[in-house]
C-alpha cells in the first residue's frame, strides 16, 4: 500500500486537554499524534507550553517541539493585553521566526487558548482549530455543558479557520455526531467527542493534503459566544419551573465536573451547594420548593438530607454550605459524595443515581422510604 504524500503542518497544543481511552487512559494529544503518525502525517513541529507533561513522550518519539511564551496562557482579553506593547511582541519572535523558516502549509490547534494573528496568519493554507461542539450553536465556553443544559440529542466536533473573533471562522470540517445520553456528564461527553476527532483525524489530514476542504461561513452571526458568566446564571435550581429532566441536566453539568461553579438550591431562604440528588416521580400536593422533611433511612443520604417537593414528585438532595470563599471540589471529593462511583454509564464519576443506565441492575436506595412529619412517603417511583 502506497504511503500518502507528506504535508507540512504544525500542531498547537493547549494545556487543558481531556483524556482519551483505547486500552488505557492517555493524554488525548498523545492519541492524536499517534493517529497522525500511523496515517503517515507527522507534524513538522508541535507548539506547547514548557511545563506540558507530554514533553517527555515527545522526546521519546523524536517529535520536534518548541515551547510557547508564557503570555499565551489564559483568557483572550488577558493575552491581548499582555501583547499590547513592543517588548511583548519580541516575546513572540522565536515562534514566528521558526514558523517563517518552516513555512508550514497548515496549522491545527487542539484545546488551545486564543492564538494571536502573528502566529495563526503564517501557515500558507490556513490555521485550523478543533472545537468540541457544534458551530455556531455551541460557540464559546463549555460547549459540552451547554449541549446538556439545552437538552440537545447529539453533538459533534467542528473544525474552523482561526480568526480574531473566538470560534467565528469559516467551518472547514465536522466530525461524526455522537448521541447525548441521559447519564452523560460534560466530562464524559467531551471525552467522547474528542475520541471521535482523534479517530477521524486521518480523514481531515487527507482532506488538507488534497486541498479539498470546503469552507462554509458560519451563517448565524446572531448566536453569542457562551461565557462563564452565562453559565453561572444556569447554576441555580428553579424549583417552580424546573422539570426533572432539567434538574438532572443542571446536576450533571455543575456537579459532574470541576469548573468552580457550584450548583445552588434555595432552601428556607438560604442558598446551599448541591452535591448529589435523586429524583422520584409521583404525586406531590404542596408547592414546589417546599421541604417535606428529612431522609432518615440508610444509604448515601442517611444524614438527614432534605426532601424537596418538585413539579413531578420529590428531590432528595445532599447539600453543603455555600460560602463566599467557595473552593471547587476535586474529582475525588465529588466521587466520594455520590451514591456510587463504580456504576456510572459513560464516565468514571457518578453524579447521582438518577443518571445511571436505567438497565443497570444496581438500584441503590430505590426502595428506600422517605419520612416527613411522621408520614411515610413510600408511594413514589424512582425517576432514574
Do 297 and 368 contact (CB within 8 A), yes or no? yes
What whole-number distance in Å separates Cα of residue 162 and Cα of residue 159? Answer: 9
pTM: 0.81
- Residue-wise pLDDT tens digits, 179-205: 999 888 898 899 999 999 999 999 999
Task: Provide the 8-state DSSP code for 184.
Answer: -
Sequence spans of domains, the chain: 9-209, 235-382
CATH H-level, domain 9-209: superfamily: Formyl transferase, N-terminal domain (3.40.50.170)
Mean pLDDT in the chain? 80
For residues 299 and 365, the answer to whether their CB atoms sit within 8 Å is: yes
Nearest to 341 by CA among 210, 333, 232, 136: 333
> How far apart are the C-alpha atoms of 128 and 110, rounded to whole Å?
9
- Cβ atoms of residues 10 and 45 within 8 Å: yes
C-alpha closest to that of 39 among 200, 158, 196, 173:
200
Pairing of strands 178-179, 264-267: unpaired
- Dump strand ranges (E) for the chain: 9-13, 19-21, 25-27, 45-49, 65-68, 106-110, 126-131, 154-155, 158-161, 171-174, 178-179, 264-267, 270-281, 291-294, 306-309, 313-321, 370-372, 375-377, 381-382
Kindly report, residue by residue over 50-82, the tens digit of the pLDDT.
999 999 999 999 999 999 998 898 788 888 888
Per-residue pLDDT of the chain (384 residues; tens, 9 = 90+): 445 457 899 999 998 888 877 667 889 999 999 999 999 999 999 999 999 999 999 999 999 999 999 889 878 888 888 888 777 778 899 999 999 999 999 999 999 989 999 999 999 999 999 999 999 999 988 999 999 999 999 999 999 999 988 899 999 999 999 999 988 889 889 999 999 999 999 999 999 999 899 999 998 765 777 888 889 889 999 999 999 999 999 999 988 887 888 899 998 888 999 988 888 887 777 889 998 888 766 666 656 788 888 998 888 888 888 654 444 433 333 334 333 322 223 222 222 333 322 332 223 233 232 323 222 334 344 444
Please tell me whether the peptide bond between 136 and the residue prior to it is cis, using omega within 30 degrees of 0: yes
Amino acid at each position: 500500500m502506497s504511503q500518502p504524500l507528506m504535508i507540512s503542518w504544525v500542531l498547537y497544543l493547549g494545556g487543558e486537554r481531556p483524556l482519551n481511552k483505547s486500552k488505557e487512559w492517555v493524554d488525548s494529544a498523545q492519541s492524536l499524534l499517534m493517529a497522525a503518525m500511523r496515517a503517515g502525517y507527522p507534524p513538522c513541529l508541535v507548539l506547547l507550553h514548557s511545563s506540558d507533561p507530554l514533553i517527555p513522550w515527545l522526546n521519546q518519539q523524536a517529535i520536534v517541539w518548541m515551547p510557547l511564551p508564557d503570555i499565551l496562557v489564559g483568557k483572550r482579553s488577558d493575552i491581548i493585553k499582555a501583547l499590547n506593547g513592543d517588548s511583548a511582541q519580541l516575546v513572540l519572535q522565536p515562534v514566528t521566526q521558526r514558523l517563517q523558516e518552516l513555512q508550514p502549509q497548515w496549522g491545527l490547534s487542539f484545546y488551545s487558548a486564543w492564538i494571536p494573528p502573528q502566529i495563526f496568519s503564517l501557515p500558507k493554507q490556513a490555521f485550523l482549530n478543533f472545537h468540541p461542539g457544534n458551530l455556531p450553536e455551541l460557540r464559546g465556553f463549555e460547549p459540552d455543558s451547554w449541549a446538556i443544559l439545552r437538552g440537545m440529542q447529539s453533538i459533534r466536533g467542528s473544525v474552523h479557520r482561526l480568526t480574531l473573533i473566538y470560534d467565528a471562522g469559516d467551518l472547514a470540517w465536522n466530525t461524526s455526531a455522537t448521541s447525548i445520553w441521559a447519564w452523560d456528564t460534560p466530562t464524559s461527553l467531551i471525552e467522547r467527542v474528542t475520541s471521535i476527532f482523534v479517530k477521524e483525524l486521518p480523514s481531515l489530514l487527507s482532506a488538507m493534503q488534497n486541498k479539498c476542504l470546503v469552507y462554509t461561513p458560519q451563517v448565524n452571526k446572531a448566536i453569542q459566544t457562551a461565557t462563564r458568566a452565562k453559565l453561572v446564571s444556569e447554576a441555580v435550581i428553579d424549583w417552580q419551573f424546573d422539570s426533572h429532566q432539567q434538574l438532572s441536566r443542571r446536576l450533571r453539568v455543575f456537579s459532574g465536573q470541576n469548573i468552580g461553579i457550584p450548583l445552588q438550591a434555595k432552601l428556607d431562604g438560604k442558598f446551599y451547594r448541591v452535591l448529589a440528588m435523586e429524583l422520584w416521580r409521583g404525586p406531590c400536593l404542596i408547592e414546589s420548593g417546599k421541604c417535606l422533611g428529612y431522609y432518615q433511612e440508610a444509604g448515601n443520604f442517611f444524614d438527614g438530607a432534605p426532601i424537596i417537593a418538585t413539579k413531578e414528585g420529590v428531590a432528595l438532595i445532599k447539600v453543603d454550605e455555600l460560602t463566599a470563599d467557595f473552593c471547587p471540589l476535586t474529582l475525588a471529593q465529588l466521587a466520594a459524595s455520590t451514591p456510587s462511583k463504580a456504576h456510572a454509564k459513560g464516565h468514571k464519576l457518578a453524579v447521582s443515581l438518577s443518571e445511571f443506565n436505567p438497565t443497570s441492575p444496581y438500584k441503590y436506595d430505590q426502595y428506600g422510604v422517605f419520612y416527613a412529619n411522621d408520614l411515610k412517603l413510600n408511594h413514589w417511583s424512582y425517576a432514574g
